[in-house]
Amino acid sequence: MKKLSIAVMISGSGSNLQSIIDACNAGSLPAAVKLVISDRKDAFGLERAKKNGIPAEFIDPSHFGGREEHETACAASIDREECKLICLAGYMRLVTGWFVGKYSGRLLNIHPSLLPSFPGAHAHRDVLAYGAKVSGCTVHFVDENMDSGPVIIQSAVKVLEGDTEETLGKRVLEQEHKAYPEAIKLFAEGRLIVKGRKVTVDTII
Ligand code: GRF
């Protein structure tokens, strides 16, 4: 099977990026990360990419007149590397309808809660403040709205008494590192069938 070429867009540590790279290297994911794009110069994920010999680009949003202009520069790199799947992994920027349309059906995101509960940038804080007993992570297709596209995989994590954002975040992140490569594998195998909001997984016969 031909390997799926992936671009990963990050803003920070890039531990999800690492889990994708590791799954590719281990041969459990028939894919290769061809490009890493960050909107932050100091994102540690850029170092992770370089260590693995993957082209890594900091594309500075402040150099562009608006979001679409910034995304046009990102898209030029993505298309140059002929990436077929774009994975947002801790990318802290809302993408425009233009970007979503351009990569329709091939743009994924991971969010650290069980969507549609607790979207946004402070999921763990919001889960704890609400007093929810269960949280987790969601891998989903990206649409025009924040954290709202069709769900591919969710993994639940119990909220424990005394949890802090850090302790809950750490346990959720462990699940993220399994869920994202798993979702990408289903995509790479062509097994994801999307009908409206619903994603089903084709069984291999
Ligand atoms: C993850 O929890 C991800 O779900 C969220 O931001 C965090 C990024 O972590 N969107 P990392 O940069 O992959 O380590």
Q: Is the dihedral of CA 4, 71, 150, 116 positive or negative?
A: positive
Q: What is the pLDDT of residue 120?
A: 96
Amino acid at 182: E
CATH (domain of 154):
3.40.50.170
Ligand 1 centre distance from Cα of residue 73 (Å): 23
Residue of 95, 110, 152, 174 with the most ligand 1 atoms within 8 Å of its CB, for mutation: 110
Closest alpha carbon to 53 in 67, 38, 65, 35: 35
Q: What is the pLDDT of residue 92?
A: 95
**List of the chain residues with pLDDT < 70:** 1, 205
42's CB contacts (< 8 A; 6+ apart) are none
Ligand 1 centre distance from Cα of residue 196 (Å): 27
Task: Kindly report, residue by residue over 129-144, the tens digit of the pLDDT.
Answer: 999 999 999 999 999 9
Residue of 122, 173, 174 with the most ligand 1 atoms within 8 Å of its CB, for mutation: 173
Copy the structure tokens of residue 113: 């809660």
Number of domains in the chain: 1
Q: What is the pLDDT of residue 205?
A: 64
Distance CA 153, CA 163 (A): 24
Range of the structural domain that residue 70 is part of: 4-201
Q: What is the pLDDT of residue 96?
A: 97
